[in-house]
Amino acid sequence: MPIVTLTAAIADHVRDGDSVALEGFTHLIPFAAGQEIIRQRRRGLHLIRMTPDLVYDQMIGAGCARRLTFSWGGNPGVGSAHRIREAIEAGWPQPLEICEHSHAGMAAAYVAGAARLPFGMLRGYLGTDLPAVNPAIRSVECPYTGERLATVPALNPDVTILHAQRADRAGNVLISGILGAQKEAGLAARKLLVTVEEVVDDLGAPMNGVVLPHWVVTAIACVPGGAWPSYARGHYPRDNAFYIAWDEIARDRGRFTAWIERYVLGTQDFAGFRARLRADGVAA
């Protein structure tokens, strides 16, 4: 399990057309990795994420994706994910197929993926129109009660990308705080890339802490601040002000494109991205 640069991790492991899940439920969202995918101009991705918020607004607006599997897409606590909306509503910058679930359905699909079961099961989608627009939502009959239960096909992304607080030099990863479906998405994937705030000698995991052992991790990159504007418990808080500011940036195609050009495509890497943000007076 090598510790590499983020540039190399994305170059080596994310291919055009791959199914890619960047997970992290508000906390520990791998923004730097998403931006590196934009920077390396990946195309035709099937993006998977429970809550496609700013990170996928950026990737979809920048034209990386042809398909989105999700359960809630917006700017949490602020409003719309404007780029995702325009992709769905107007096909800009390209059409976006969607595969839409509820949170409970997505969670069950990741759990099934991690357990290498072909499907997940829940008492869900009752009385909703979601099964009518998503043919992947089906049902099984309970062999004991005869009850019908909803099913979702397992999610097994080609690549899952996570951000975590810490890795040790062997590549064991510790996650602490709000967990989302990160562990399940990580274990469901064919390849698992992790960006971390720091690489340490001793992982210092507490008993029953959430650890991804080195032998399930494909590559690690040390990217302090890599979850900004989301947060990394113990390192920095959520930059709520940026989430609010993003609403204006993303609302307009031109302004969005200029932002991506200036900060992402126009910089060499995440260090360059942060330097330019700082130069422009954005706290980063």
Partner 1 sequence: MNATTVAPPWSADEMMTVTAARMLWDGCVCFVGIGLPSAAANLARLLHAPGIVLIYESGTIGTRPDVLPLSIGDGELAETAGAVVPLPEIFAYWLQGGRIDVGFLGAAQVDRFGNLNSTVIGPYQQPKVRLPGAGGAPEIAAHARQVFVVLKQSARSFVPKLDFVSSGGFLTGGGARRLSGAPGAGPQAIITDYGVLRPQAGSEEFALAARYEHVTAAAAVKATGWPLTVAASLEVIAPPTATELEALRALQARTQAAHSRPVQLPV
Contacts to a copy of itself from residues 51-90, by CB under 8 A: none
> Using CB under 8 A, which of 8, 117, 140, 258 touches partner 1?
117
Three-class secondary structure of residue 25 per DSSP: coil
Give the dihedral sign, CA 127/133/134/135: positive
Question: Mask: binding to a copy of itself, 202-231, rule CB under 8 A, as x and -?
Answer: ----xxxxx---------------------
Which partner from the list partner 1, a copy of itself, none does 139 bind, CB cut-off 5 to 8 Å by kind? a copy of itself
Contacts to a copy of itself from residues 123-152, by CB under 8 A: 123, 138-145, 147, 149, 151
Please give the DSSP secondary-structure letter assigned to residue 203: -
The interface region with partner 1, picked from 12-20, 34-42, 127-135, 252-260 by CB under 8 A, is 127-135
The interface region with partner 1, picked from 12-20, 58-66, 231-239, 250-258 by CB under 8 A, is 231-239
- The DSSP bridge partners found for residue 46 are 19, 67
Q: Which is nearer to a copy of itself, 138 or 276 (CB)?
A: 138
Which partner from the list a copy of itself, partner 1, none does 200 bind, CB cut-off 5 to 8 Å by kind? none
Contacts to partner 1 from residues 181-220, by CB under 8 A: 181, 183-184, 187, 197, 203, 205, 207-211, 213, 215-216
Question: Taking a C-beta distance cutoff of 8 angstroms, is the pair 231, 163 a contact?
Answer: no
- Residue ranges with strand state E in the chain: 3-4, 19-22, 45-48, 65-70, 97-100, 119-122, 138-141, 148-153, 159-168, 173-175, 191-200, 210-212, 219-222
Smallest gap from Cβ 254 to partner 1, in A, equals 21
Give the dihedral sign, CA 208/198/215/201: negative
- What the block records as the tokens of 175 is 């996650």
Three-class secondary structure of residue 248 per DSSP: helix
Q: Which is nearer to a copy of itself, 147 or 248 (CB)?
A: 147
Smallest gap from Cβ 16 to partner 1, in A, equals 26
> Using CB under 8 A, which of 74, 245, 253, 275 touches partner 1?
74
Question: Taking a C-beta distance cutoff of 8 angstroms, is the pair 63, 265 a contact?
Answer: no
Amino acid, single-letter form, for residue 250: A
Q: Which is nearer to partner 1, 42 or 51 (CB)?
A: 51
Non-local (6+) Cβ contacts of 249 within 8 A are: 255, 256, 259
Question: Mask: binding to partner 1, 8-27, rule CB under 8 A, as x and -?
Answer: -----------------xxx
Q: Is 16 left (phi over 0), alpha (psi -120 to 50) or beta?
A: beta
Residues that bind a copy of itself (CB under 8 A): 116-119, 121-123, 138-145, 147, 149, 151, 153, 176-177, 179, 206-210, 233
